[in-house]
């Protein structure tokens, strides 16, 4: 049987290699911005404020015209994030099916159906939550391409991992920002974009601070 | 990008994603002119937010496109799975034929959640974080769902093709 990816792509009703009308798209863009974007010059700061004040006012006027036709909720997630985040400690720990302190013993890259992932084999030291047993080895899979990579995970590194079960043998990180904390000298370091700390109960049971 | 004027960031976002959003919408409405109008609406909302200082992502565009489609469907009382009624064409514009029919049949048999994740990934060409934004799942849960959907697709495809062979 051909791969699922190939079958699906062959049956795609609007193919992604279709050539769109760039001219029409640029015209629409120019209409939105009120002039051709390629010709924009950056005005001095004070004038810029005035220009954007006027632009904002113009958009509000246009917006009033369409507001009656379209009722929208603000889409989730917040515009600043491209990946779901857990907002606080309780939510993060609740969404993890397992929380373990573990050392990465090996990594390998696997590609299936066009998706490339890194699979890390980790030796579990301590367990704060979930099924993994201390002294066992488990496998963690995460994307090797695109924005959702767990770039800080390295062979030989020690981490506290927050996991969700993928299947009988493999686990996923809850997300690639909050799914791991680096352990060094018994202290935890979250990833740069992660402001959520783990609870005292979890850090205590894992022997970290 | 933080100190750039809004038109610069918006223009980059627009040029990188206009085609993707247009195709996303076209798969669900089936008429090109209608798809272009709805896509324009998505970017009009995006521009409005950009002017107010919000930094938008591609994922936000697809979530907004879904809301715009949803409102549009309510206004024309149309069902949710218009993409299933689209004429499937090959790159040369010819009907893709048996494969497309089989895939349609398989997709119809899958649970909605599995069908949607396959369509988002392989037709809409969305990344896991974009699918996560659309579905409300975590990125890792998207991979789990995609993995299970592929398995279910294979089982269904095999069953359908075996029945087809048996009838011949």
Q: Nearest Cβ partner of B44 from A32, A71, A82?
A: A32
Give which of A107, A97, A105, A109 is closest to A123, Cα–Cα: A105
Residues in chain B within 8 Å Cβ distance of A12: 27, 88, 122-123
Find the distance separating the first CA and the last CA of chain A, reported in whole Å.
51
Strands (DSSP E) found in A4-57:
none
- Mean pLDDT, residues B140-155 taken together: 86
- Mean pLDDT, residues A30-50 taken together: 49
Residues in chain A within 8 Å Cβ distance of B90: 10
Residues A98 and A44 in one domain: no
Please check whether residue B82 touches A, CB under 8 A: no
Q: Nearest Cβ partner of B23 from A10, A14, A146?
A: A14
Q: Is the pLDDT of residue B88 over 50?
A: no
Percent of chain A having pLDDT more than 70?
70
In a domain, A29, yes or no: yes
Q: Nearest Cβ partner of B88 from A11, A16, A32?
A: A11
Q: Which CATH architecture has domain B1-86?
A: Orthogonal Bundle (1.10)
Residues A113 and A195 in one domain: yes
Residues A147 and A120 in one domain: yes
Find the distance separating the first CA and the last CA of chain B, reported in whole Å.
61
- Tell me the CA distances in angstroms from A83 to A33, A90, B58, B140, one per residue in order: 28, 19, 11, 10
Q: Is the pLDDT of residue B80 over 50?
A: no
Band of pLDDT at residue B76, cut at 50, 70 and 90: low
pLDDT at A164: 84
Residue of A11, A62, A175 to mutate, testing the B interface (most B Cβ within 10 Å of its Cβ): A11
How far out from the chain centre does Cα A117 lie? 15
B13-63 tens-digit pLDDT: 999 999 999 999 999 987 888 999 999 999 999 999 998 888 899 999 999
In a domain, A122, yes or no: yes
Residue where a domain stops, chosen among A12, A47, A72: A72
Task: Provide the number of structural domains found in chain A.
Answer: 2
pLDDT at A28: 87
Q: Nearest Cβ partner of A59 from B48, B89, B118?
A: B48
pLDDT at B8: 84
For residues A64 and A3, the model is more confident at A3
ipTM: 0.80
pLDDT at B75: 64
Residues A98 and A188 in one domain: yes
Q: How many residue pairs from chains A and B have C-beta atoms closer than 8 A?
A: 197
In chain B, DSSP finds a helix count (H) and a strand count (E) of 7, 0
Give which of B104, B109, B100, B102 is closest to B152, Cα–Cα: B109
Residues A41 and A95 in one domain: no
A77-130 tens-digit pLDDT: 333 333 456 778 998 998 888 999 999 999 998 876 556 788 999 999 999 999
Residues A61 and A146 in one domain: no
pLDDT at B168: 55
Please check whether residue B150 touches A, CB under 8 A: yes
Give which of B159, B168, B150 is closest to B105, Cα–Cα: B159
Residues A177 and A114 in one domain: yes
Residues with Cβ within 8 Å of residue B164, at least 6 apart in sequence: none
How many Å apart are CA B43 and CA B16, to the nearest integer? 12
What residues make up the domain containing A194?
89-206
Residues with Cβ within 8 Å of residue A197, at least 6 apart in sequence: A89, A190
Residues A35 and A94 in one domain: no
Residue A182 pairs with which residues in a beta bridge? A159, A189
Domain-wise residue ranges, chain B: 1-86, 90-168
How many Å apart are CA B95 and CA B115, to the nearest integer? 22
A177-209 tens-digit pLDDT: 889 999 999 999 998 878 899 999 999 999 998
- B7 and A37 within 8 Å at the Cβ level: the answer is yes
CATH number at residue A202: 2.40.50.120
Average pLDDT of chain A? 75
B98-123 tens-digit pLDDT: 788 899 999 999 999 999 999 999 99
What stretch of H or E contains B82? none
Class of domain B90-168: mainly alpha
Give B119→chain A minimum CA distance, Å: 8
Residues A106 and A42 in one domain: no
Please check whether residue B143 touches A, CB under 8 A: yes
How many Å apart are CA A158 and CA A161, to the nearest integer? 9
- Pair A190, A181: CB distance under 8 Å: yes
Residues in chain A within 8 Å Cβ distance of B104: 11
Q: Is the pLDDT of residue A43 over 70?
A: no
Residues A57 and A94 in one domain: no
How many Å apart are CA A57 and CA B93, to the nearest integer? 45
pLDDT at A3: 84
- Tell me the CA distances in angstroms from A104 to A24, A107, A128, A168, A176, one per residue in order: 51, 8, 18, 20, 16
| Least confident range of A10-24, A83-97, A120-134, B68-82 | B68-82
């Amino acid at each position: 049987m051909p791969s699922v990816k190939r079958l699906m792509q062959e049956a795609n009703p609007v193919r992604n290699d279709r050539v769109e009308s760039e001219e029409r798209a640029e015209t629409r863009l120019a209409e939105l911005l009120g002039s051709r974007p390629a010709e924009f010059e950056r005005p001095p700061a004070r004038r810029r404020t005035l220009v954007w004040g006027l632009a904002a006012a113009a958009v509000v006027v246009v917006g009033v015209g369409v507001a009656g036709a379209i009722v929208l909720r603000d889409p989730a997630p917040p515009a600043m994030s491209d990946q779901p985040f857990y907002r606080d400690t309780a939510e993060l720990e609740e969404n993890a099916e397992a929380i373990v302190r573990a050392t990465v013993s090996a990594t390998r890259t696997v590609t299936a159906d066009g998706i490339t992932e890194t699979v890390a084999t980790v030796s579990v030291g301590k367990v704060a939550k979930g099924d993994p047993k201390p002294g066992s080895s488990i496998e963690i899979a995460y994307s090797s391409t695109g924005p959702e990579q767990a770039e800080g995970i390295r062979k030989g590194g020690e981490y506290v991992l927050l996991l969700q079960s993928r299947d009988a043998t493999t686990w996923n990180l809850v997300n690639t920002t909050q799914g791991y904390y680096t352990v060094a000298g018994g202290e935890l370091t979250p990833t740069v974009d992660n402001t959520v700390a783990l609870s005292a109960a979890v850090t205590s049971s894992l022997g970290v601070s | 990008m933080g100190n750039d004027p809004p038109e610069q960031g918006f223009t980059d976002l627009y040029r990188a994603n206009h085609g993707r959003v247009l195709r996303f919408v076209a798969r669900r409405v089936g008429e090109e002119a209608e798809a272009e109008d709805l896509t324009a609406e998505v970017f009009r909302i995006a521009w409005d937010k950009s002017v107010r200082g919000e930094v938008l992502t591609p994922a936000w565009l697809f979530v907004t496109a879904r809301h715009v489609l949803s409102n549009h469907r309510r206004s024309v009382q149309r069902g949710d799975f218009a993409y299933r009624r689209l004429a499937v064409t090959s790159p040369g514009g010819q009907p893709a034929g048996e494969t497309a029919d089989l895939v349609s049949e398989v997709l119809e048999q899958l649970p909605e959640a599995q069908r949607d994740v396959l369509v988002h990934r392989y037709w809409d060409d969305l990344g896991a974080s974009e699918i996560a934004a659309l579905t409300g799942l975590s990125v890792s849960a998207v991979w789990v769902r995609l993995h299970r959907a592929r398995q279910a697709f294979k089982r269904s495809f095999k069953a359908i093709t075996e029945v087809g062979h048996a009838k011949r």
